[in-house]
Amino acid sequence: MRKPLLILAALALGTTLTTHAKGNVEAGKAKSATCAACHGADGVSTVPSFPKLAGQHYDYLYQALKDYQTGRRKNPIMAGQVENLTDQDMADLAAYFSKQRGLSVKY
């Protein structure tokens, strides 16, 4: 009885982890202009209160955007920025920023 439950749980988890769209780096670059105002060009922020996006893991970036959109993460500025993004927009942005080099910036 235990083995079928583990298999079902693994299948369910695998399905939920792979359901989001794969991003397009070039499309993400085109969509990232608004992000640059706070997070810097190419996602390398020079302001300590704004996180660096460059070089972060794709899944982390995508999930963070989803969480801001659903209200799971609380930030009024980010909530406003992501409210009209589609899943594909978020996937594209995550793909773009995850491919950028997370250059070292001293604060």
Domain positions in the chain? 21-99
- In this predicted structure, the answer to whether residue 6 has a pLDDT above a threshold of 70 is no
Q: How far, in Å, are 39, 61, 71 from residue 52 at the CA level?
A: 6, 11, 21
Start-to-end C-alpha separation, the chain: 55
User: Cα(40)–Cα(83) distance, rounded to whole angstroms?
Assistant: 21
Architecture field, domain 21-99: Orthogonal Bundle (1.10)
User: Cα(1)–Cα(18) distance, rounded to whole angstroms?
Assistant: 27
- In this predicted structure, the answer to whether residue 37 has a pLDDT above a threshold of 70 is yes
pLDDT tens per residue across span 46-71: 999 999 999 999 999 999 999 999 99
The model scores a pTM over 0.85 = no
Q: What are 107's two structure tokens?
A: 């604060």
- In this predicted structure, the answer to whether residue 83 has a pLDDT above a threshold of 80 is yes
